[in-house]
Structure 1
Amino acid sequence: MTTLDYKTLGMKAGLEVHQQLNTGKLFIRTPSELSDEIDFTIKRKLRPVASELGEYDKAALDAFNRDETFYYQGNIKNISLVETDEEPPQPLDKDAFKTILEVSLLCNSLPVNQAVVMRKTVIDGSNTSAFQRTMLVSLGGELDIGNKKIGVETIALEEDAARPIKKENGKVYYNLDRLGIPLIELATAPDIRTPEEAVLAAKKIGEMMRLTCKTKRGKGTIRQDVNVSIAKGARCEIKGCQELELIKVVVEKEVERQIDLLALKEKLNKEIGKTNLFEDVKEVSAAFENTGCKFMKNKQVFGMKLINMKGFLGEKVGEKRFGSELSAYAKSKGVSGIIHLDELPNYGISNIEVDKVKRILECSENDNFVISVTNKEKALDAFIAIQNRIKAAFEGVPTETRGALEEGGSEYQRPLAGGARMYPETDLLNEEITEATLKEIKKGLPKSVGEREKAYVKLGLNKNHIEEMKLNNYARFFSEIVKNGANPVVAATLLLQTLTELKRENVSVNKIEMNDIEELLLFEKKKKINKNNLKNALIDLSKGKTIDEILDSQVSVDEGAIQKEVERIVKANGKLVKEKGMASIGPLMGDLMKVESLRGADGKILSELLRKEIGKIK
């Protein structure tokens, strides 16, 4: 990619980061867990609603005009009538609200006096109610990214949308499990001036949110949208950057795309001018009666002449061509795509068939054309969208919402949404934010990464545990239980390693209460349970046993009993011991740990006695 001078280009960018919270759902009391188990499917059509001023949002109308049918799937264990929009929402999740106030204070944002729940019109099917509940919580603030500070404009709390499953033939399928999970939306000011700064800002936001220890982790739990513009260009929103590394590429490619669109604007106005560019849509199916093109054979095909536009659809726009931009607009109206003269002959379409289309559409030497395999109604909608996009090209860069692609490019999705899609939520109370509430939250604000690292070094954690714990969801819990008397190294090992191992072994770790984990670690410090038996104790907790039952099962094992088992194990593995000597300790320790009568025995004693016994073998 060509090195660009972003300062000279007048590049501006801002981020909108959406982070899922690991709390209850925002206005629903069902689990905020994903599940592919399906018990039911609901079919719906959605329609836009006017704002308080009687206006309809452009993006909502665009989605409505696609005439899609939505199918919502879920299971009765995870989904209630609230998700299906058959029952009013329930009160706000207090844990989620406290978390967003912490984030606000961490970046010096000013919380509003009263957070008002609003409905944001969304009729792409991702919400059963045709709106998303959102509430503005704070304004202003800043992020220190090292070399400069980036302003924060707004921080809002909102419901996540339903999880998209598939889309085919005008039918869109969603799973309701994700609908209602709390999202913190943090929007920065357009203070970002380079792609590298965009990455630094995104990292800082992610770090700050993870300090709360209330964020979900994994793919899809954090989504970054990037707003990018250059001088003489326009703001375009690129949605769905899920990887930090992708943000830099997305910004670079969007800047390059806007540069190319401005160059195309100059060329169009110089060589064509704003004259009549289009003629009526005509059916051109007759041109393909004997075609070798499989997707056109025996299908309806419609075409439209583009006057004096030969060659222009092949003009470079970013890493694609202008024709690809037009195709994305056409696809938004329900057609599978378009084919234009500048890319023909191709796809099994011959020169003879191209000439036939030209004759039907009455094309002259300098004319272009677009064709699409579809019915007349969809063809008309698609070609009108193409006409509008071509007209916009004479003005430069149109404002629009685009979707990020895996390689860092983007594709048109819909018009840029406006304020006309917001109206008040009538089923929920506003949330007061008092000085007393903020004062209480300030007392317990999470420590910074640097402060945590220093504390962990003093506690004796190793480098791996320090690195893993500093932004882990267990970090605040860890500090609390260590403060209450737990052994720091044992606690860190249990939280970061043992629980992870149990998850991989399909143990129901989510059934273990945090209070029980704390109690277990405190008993370990008091020597009432051996640290080597903590894993088995956690398994017992996952199966419903109480702490008292686990403690009662801890049998004190004397050294005499251990010595007998050690002698037995060494004798049974005499050949291995003779071959490997002290290197056989690992496998033999594994055998000893499996002996039921030694359950709860101190691992150090086992290892010491085993070492002595192996030393006797010559």
Structure 2
Amino acid sequence: MSEYDYDELGLVAGLEIHQQLDTATKLFCQCPTELREPEESTRSFTRYLHPTRSELGEIDQAALEESKVDREFEYLAYDTTCLVEEDDEPPHELDAEALETALEIAQLMEMKPVDQAHVMRKIVVDGSNTTGFQRSTLIATEGEIETSEGAVGIEDMLLEEESAQRVEETDDGVRYSLDRLGIPLVEIGTSPDISTPEQALEAAERIGMLLRSTGKVKRGLGTIRQDVNVSIEEGARVEIKGVQSLDDIDDIVRNEVGRQAELVDIAAELTEREASVGEVQDVTSVFEDTDSGVIAGALNSGGSVMAVPLYGFDGIVGREIAPDRRLGTELSDHAKRHGAGGIFHTDELPAYGVTEDEVDDLRDAVGAGPEDAVAIVAADTDVAEAAIDAAAERAGTALEGVPEETRDANDDGTTRYLRPLPGAARMYPETDVPPVEPDPSEVPEPELLTEKVERYQEEYDLGEGLAEQVAYGEYMPLFEDVVADGVDPTLAASTLESTLTELRRDDVPVENLEREHLEGVFAMAESGDLPNEGVPDLLTALAEDPDRTAEEAADEAGLGGADEEEVRDAIAEVVERNEEQVEEEGMQAFSGLMGECMGALRGKADGDLVSELLREEIQKRA
């Protein structure tokens, strides 16, 4: 898609960054914040969720539409799952560690903490919370970050509980895992100050850097999510949820601008054609003898084919509005929410086993001419009726332009319809949790990652590249802790950023290594019980059998440090084995023999000591 003149189109964008905090316990209970595999669950239970009215008696439209889809929600519970997570006990007080971390983040963004923080309930009936709502607390407001294209305001930061993790779709609904539910996260919302896709990416990267500077946020896939709000002057505000990768943000904004611009053009053309959406009709009889596998399958199961004529829409339904997505795809997204596999439309037919004669009969059946289009759904009768109604409603909004809505981010940088935009009716007070008064006076301001890079170079004599890897890497807090305990900074940095990467490339299961494993290895190296050269072998042993301590693994693998006499004996044996080479080459034989000596000692001795003693042995025999 070609680049647009964003200023001329009136692009306005804002970000919502959701970042999990690395706390010991969850936001409203004492359960751990560690994720597990679904197979580790010990039991499950099911729920059906329905929207409730706000304090003013209103029902949120997004929740109402979600509730129209009749689904059962199954929740996988674990040996640590508590009654709060199951919604069988009131929540406990707001976690103090999470609140302190949120206040640190607020300082970095120059935000003003609120005088009193009140917990609110945000209605969510997609099954991602056992309660039917998410608890959310406003912590700070009125901040700002800088970008190369100007300042971007930070409107607010909320402290929230993470949703349950979606595991899979089931025949009856959706299966969720409860281990993620309740993990503290901050939601940071920017002002609508972003005017280009590039600025959106830069702002997200800046916020991400500030979050990681605390050393108290979780790292890895799924621990940070970006939502993007995008609109153009003639379009509408669209909220795009679930952008997993920072690198996708500029493409998401760029594609959404293009989609809205195309929809504006489509609305203008439909107005010029005096287009309209007709009445839904049952056209099952047209396809009684069809060769289309999809349609025949639905009819053989007792289903129906429902159609809606789209007057003046010929050629429009098949028009591309984003890469590999057409207006027909939008209609199909709405139909799918009601259980249908999608829609067929005459801009793409005949195809999929539907013949030209059937297309002509379809047009005749609904009174559509050559300038019109027809959309159909084949499914169980109830599903087909609900799905075609949803597709028809979406076709009707195409006459108006760009609908306000919430969309889901796809992996290719495009988006798909998710639900209507939520309104104010989805929020109401949480009466089970008392308010708290945030006190930022005793919260230290964290050191920025950019400042850490400079300090690591100056204080620890690390190269710029290695210093940056450590500062921005997931092991930064561990690096700082072990160096404070006396571990050589170069050893710690190279082990965490280079050795672990090399072992992973060699198919060593380094994902099994926990913090205590790494701390144990560094402690042995610092005390002299493990030569630096033995670190990779010990890490490998621990990764392959993580149920042992570093000391136990070192003993079993024979990786403890050898005394000088043992080292001399091993070197003498290697030199004797290569006596002829030593006599002929003298000290030139050193390089080859050094590797052999290190192999013979299997990481039991420091390389500097081996080098020194090997030189002595060669000099004696040369």
Per-residue CA deviations over 1:49-79 (Å, capped at 9, x if unaligned) read 1111111111111111011111222432x53
The letter of the residue matching 1:279 is: E
Aligned partners of 2:20 and 2:186 also within 8 Å = yes
- 2:470 is matched with 469
- What is the CA–CA distance in structure 1 between the aligned matches of 2:31 and 2:162, rounded to whole Å? 14
Matched, 1:584 2:582: no
Matched, 1:103 2:102: no
Query: Larger deviation: 506-515 or 249-258?
Result: 506-515
Report the CA distance shift for 1:183/1:421 in structure 2 as closer, same or farther (over 3 A). same
Kindly state the Cα deviation for residue 35 of structure 1 after the two structures are TM-superposed.
Answer: 1.7
Kindly state the Cα deviation for residue 450 of structure 1 after the two structures are TM-superposed.
Answer: 3.3
- 2:493 is matched with 492
Kindly state the Cα deviation for residue 572 of structure 1 after the two structures are TM-superposed.
Answer: 5.0
The letter of the residue matching 2:377 is: S
- 2:287 is matched with 288
Aligned partners of 2:574 and 2:593 also within 8 Å = no
The counterpart of 1:200, out of the listed 170, 190, 202, is: 202
- 2:146 is matched with 144
- What is the CA–CA distance in structure 2 between the aligned matches of 1:247 and 1:120, rounded to whole Å? 26
The letter of the residue matching 2:472 is: L
- 2:407 is matched with 402
- 1:82 is matched with 84
The counterpart of 1:72, out of the listed 71, 75, 79, is: 75
Query: Larger deviation: 416-425 or 486-495?
Result: 486-495
The letter of the residue matching 1:400 is: E
- 1:9 is matched with 9
Kindly state the Cα deviation for residue 39 of structure 1 after the two structures are TM-superposed.
Answer: 2.6
- What is the CA–CA distance in structure 1 between the aligned matches of 2:194 and 2:155, rounded to whole Å? 13
Kindly state the Cα deviation for residue 362 of structure 1 after the two structures are TM-superposed.
Answer: 3.5
> In the TM superposition, what are the counterparts of 1:602-617 in structure 2 within 5 Å?
602-613=606-617
Report the CA distance shift for 1:554/1:52 in structure 2 as closer, same or farther (over 3 A). same
Identity %: 38
Report the CA distance shift for 1:477/1:316 in structure 2 as closer, same or farther (over 3 A). closer
2:347 counterpart SS class: helix
The counterpart of 2:361, out of the listed 356, 360, 363, is: 356
- 1:31 is matched with 32
Per-residue CA deviations over 1:14-65 (Å, capped at 9, x if unaligned) read 0111112222322232332222223323222111111111111111111110
Kindly state the Cα deviation for residue 233 of structure 1 after the two structures are TM-superposed.
Answer: 0.9
1:114 counterpart SS class: coil
Report the CA distance shift for 1:158/1:502 in structure 2 as closer, same or farther (over 3 A). farther
1:226 counterpart SS class: strand
- 1:512 is matched with 516
- What is the CA–CA distance in structure 1 between the aligned matches of 2:561 and 2:225, rounded to whole Å? 52
- What is the CA–CA distance in structure 2 between the aligned matches of 1:92 and 1:542, rounded to whole Å? 34
The counterpart of 1:175, out of the listed 177, 197, 220, is: 177
- 1:333 is matched with 338
Aligned partners of 1:279 and 1:306 also within 8 Å = no
1:178 counterpart SS class: coil
Report the CA distance shift for 1:491/1:309 in structure 2 as closer, same or farther (over 3 A). closer
Kindly state the Cα deviation for residue 153 of structure 1 after the two structures are TM-superposed.
Answer: 0.7
Per-residue CA deviations over 1:287-310 (Å, capped at 9, x if unaligned) read 223322111114232222233433
The counterpart of 1:242, out of the listed 241, 244, 250, is: 244
Matched, 1:314 2:318: yes
The counterpart of 2:426, out of the listed 393, 418, 421, is: 421
Kindly state the Cα deviation for residue 397 of structure 1 after the two structures are TM-superposed.
Answer: 0.9
- What is the CA–CA distance in structure 1 between the aligned matches of 2:391 and 2:195, rounded to whole Å? 32
Report the CA distance shift for 1:590/1:564 in structure 2 as closer, same or farther (over 3 A). closer
The letter of the residue matching 1:311 is: G
Query: Larger deviation: 18-27 or 470-479?
Result: 470-479
- What is the CA–CA distance in structure 1 between the aligned matches of 2:580 and 2:237, rounded to whole Å? 74
- 2:397 is matched with 392
Aligned partners of 2:21 and 2:98 also within 8 Å = yes
Kindly state the Cα deviation for residue 175 of structure 1 after the two structures are TM-superposed.
Answer: 1.8
Matched, 1:560 2:565: yes
- 2:454 is matched with 454
Kindly state the Cα deviation for residue 110 of structure 1 after the two structures are TM-superposed.
Answer: 0.6
The letter of the residue matching 1:466 is: A
- 1:304 is matched with 308
Report the CA distance shift for 1:323/1:607 in structure 2 as closer, same or farther (over 3 A). same
The letter of the residue matching 2:4 is: L
Aligned partners of 1:446 and 1:476 also within 8 Å = no
Matched, 1:222 2:239: no
Report the CA distance shift for 1:570/1:268 in structure 2 as closer, same or farther (over 3 A). same
- What is the CA–CA distance in structure 1 between the aligned matches of 2:594 and 2:263, rounded to whole Å? 66
- 2:272 is matched with 270
- What is the CA–CA distance in structure 2 between the aligned matches of 1:370 and 1:508, rounded to whole Å? 52
Report the CA distance shift for 1:103/1:529 in structure 2 as closer, same or farther (over 3 A). same
Aligned partners of 1:153 and 1:189 also within 8 Å = yes
The counterpart of 1:165, out of the listed 164, 167, 181, is: 167
Report the CA distance shift for 1:31/1:13 in structure 2 as closer, same or farther (over 3 A). same
Per-residue CA deviations over 1:208-264 (Å, capped at 9, x if unaligned) read 000011122222111111110011211001112112221111111111111111111
Per-residue CA deviations over 1:433-481 (Å, capped at 9, x if unaligned) read 13xxx1211xx32212332222112221133430112224554564566
Gaps of 5+ in 1: none
Give me the TM-score of the superposition, normalised by structure 2: 0.87
Aligned partners of 1:111 and 1:137 also within 8 Å = yes
1:259 counterpart SS class: helix
- What is the CA–CA distance in structure 1 between the aligned matches of 2:194 and 2:230, rounded to whole Å? 9
Query: Larger deviation: 408-417 or 479-488?
Result: 479-488
Aligned partners of 1:507 and 1:542 also within 8 Å = no
Query: Larger deviation: 185-194 or 115-124?
Result: 115-124
Aligned partners of 2:284 and 2:305 also within 8 Å = yes
Query: Larger deviation: 418-427 or 477-486?
Result: 477-486
1:492 counterpart SS class: helix
The letter of the residue matching 2:445 is: L
- What is the CA–CA distance in structure 1 between the aligned matches of 2:490 and 2:562, rounded to whole Å? 24
The letter of the residue matching 1:174 is: Y
- What is the CA–CA distance in structure 2 between the aligned matches of 1:394 and 1:223, rounded to whole Å? 33
The counterpart of 2:602, out of the listed 588, 594, 613, is: 594
Kindly state the Cα deviation for residue 168 of structure 1 after the two structures are TM-superposed.
Answer: 4.6
Aligned partners of 1:589 and 1:607 also within 8 Å = no
Query: Larger deviation: 24-33 or 61-70?
Result: 24-33
The letter of the residue matching 2:125 is: I
- What is the CA–CA distance in structure 2 between the aligned matches of 1:421 and 1:505, rounded to whole Å? 45
Give me the TM-score of the superposition, normalised by structure 1: 0.88
The letter of the residue matching 1:86 is: D
1:346 counterpart SS class: coil
- What is the CA–CA distance in structure 1 between the aligned matches of 2:53 and 2:384, rounded to whole Å? 28
Kindly state the Cα deviation for residue 92 of structure 1 after the two structures are TM-superposed.
Answer: 2.8
- What is the CA–CA distance in structure 2 between the aligned matches of 1:311 and 1:537, rounded to whole Å? 66
Kindly state the Cα deviation for residue 337 of structure 1 after the two structures are TM-superposed.
Answer: 0.6
The letter of the residue matching 1:608 is: E
- What is the CA–CA distance in structure 2 between the aligned matches of 1:181 and 1:296, rounded to whole Å? 45
Query: Larger deviation: 485-494 or 253-262?
Result: 485-494
1:447 counterpart SS class: coil
Matched, 1:45 2:48: yes
Kindly state the Cα deviation for residue 11 of structure 1 after the two structures are TM-superposed.
Answer: 0.5
The letter of the residue matching 1:470 is: A
Gaps of 5+ in 2: none
- What is the CA–CA distance in structure 2 between the aligned matches of 1:90 and 1:230, rounded to whole Å? 43
